[in-house]
Amino acid sequence: MTDDSTGKLRPDDLHQDELRQKIDALVARLPASLVYSLLSEIEGMDSEPTDRVQLVRQYVIEYLNRQRTNRARRLFTNLFEAFLIDDDALYHAGVVIPGMLQRVDVGALWEALSRDAFPLLAVEAQEMLDEMARGDVIDRILRSPIATVMKERMRVASVKHLDAVLATRKTVEELLAGMSRNRSRRTRLMSGFLEKTPHIDVGTLRLMHLILTGAEGPAKPVIDRLEEFPAGCSSEAEANRLADRLLDATESLRDRCGDDLAAMLPLSVLSVKRNYPVAALYSGRAASIPAAAMP
């Protein structure tokens, strides 16, 4: 705000700008986890917060939300979060890996569905999340009851649309072509050294359709079993025990859910949980199983 008589910033506004700059400089030097800890400490202060504390809280929230503007897409992506992989080498491998779901795959699906399946809902969700983000960090908002209801509406509309698309070869080919055009190109360093063009095939589309069938659908057993595997191991004995469990769980899921969904479990232990010892032990043991013994 400016003083009407001079056109200059008022002292209170200058003070707030200086405070915002200090907060931005402080938060920029902190890991994200510590920023959230700072925000929690501010919000947990005893007695009624002062105006300055309220300003600090607001500026931290604004900093955290600043780079997260595609909020409706982020909400939609949460439907797949348990299985998402961010791996440049796999992205550029030039082959389709069963059970692999890259974040850019979901981004391409969002572009298609937000245009063809639920355009008005996409706008409604973005506007609602933008308004809610004025007073809280987006990660909390996406877990709120209001956002959960909106996400379920997206899921239902997506399944209905994909049911129709998957019914004919022509509509499948049209959707895959559109998703390939919309699929983001990686700009990270590794991308400069890998030339194979990534592509989306019908298996990946069907995999996303399976996941979208909901918490009680075909993906639920995989999500449940994935929760049994931590991000690391405390000992070699634990790694061996978990590798045995992973082998048994994958074979059990193959019987219940099919090859594609079953393959998501060990791949997610590797690329989502990043439990490399367990994944390596599992790979060796799975390779030693005779082909005749495989379902």
Domain count, the chain: 3
Q: Which residue has the tokens 């002292």?
A: 11
Least confident of 116-125, 184-193, 208-217, 241-250: 184-193
What is the band of 266 on the pLDDT scale with cuts at 50, 70, 90? very high
- Asked if 75 and 151 count as a contact pair (C-beta separation under 8 A), the reply is yes
What's residue 65's pLDDT? 78
Look over the chain and give the mean of its residue pLDDT values, rounded to a whole number: 81
Q: Which residue has the tokens 């973005």?
A: 126
Q: Is residue 9 part of a domain?
A: no
Q: Where does a domain end: 214, 236, 260?
A: 214
What's the rounded mean pLDDT across residues 281-290?
Answer: 80
Q: Is residue 60 part of a domain?
A: yes
Q: Is residue 131 part of a domain?
A: yes
Least confident of 95-99, 129-133, 259-263: 95-99
Q: Say whether 234 sits in a helix, a strand or coil.
A: coil
The Cα–Cα gap between 106 and 17 comes to 39
The Cα–Cα gap between 91 and 83 comes to 15
Q: What is the DSSP string of 140-188?
A: HHTTSHHHHHHHHHHHHHHHHHHHHHTTSHHHHHHHHHHHHHHSPPP-S
Say if residue 81's pLDDT is above 50: yes
- Asked if 186 and 88 count as a contact pair (C-beta separation under 8 A), the reply is yes
Together in a domain, 38 and 113: no
What's residue 169's pLDDT? 94
* Sequence-distant (≥ 6) Cβ neighbours of residue 123 within 8 angstroms: 72
Q: Is residue 11 part of a domain?
A: no
Could you read off the pLDDT of 174-225 as tens digits, one per residue?
Answer: 999 888 887 755 444 445 545 555 678 898 899 899 899 876 677 888 889 9
Strongest mean pLDDT among 2-6, 15-19, 153-157: 153-157
Together in a domain, 87 and 149: yes
Cα R_g (the chain), whole angstroms = 23
Q: Is residue 146 part of a domain?
A: yes
Q: Tell me the residue range of the domain where 165 lies.
A: 69-214
Which residue did the predictor score with more confidence, 2 or 70?
70
- Asked if 230 and 281 count as a contact pair (C-beta separation under 8 A), the reply is no
Together in a domain, 104 and 179: yes
Helix (H), strand (E) at residue 120? helix 119-132
Together in a domain, 88 and 196: yes
Together in a domain, 104 and 174: yes
Least confident of 26-35, 224-233, 281-290: 26-35
Least confident of 95-104, 142-151, 261-270: 95-104
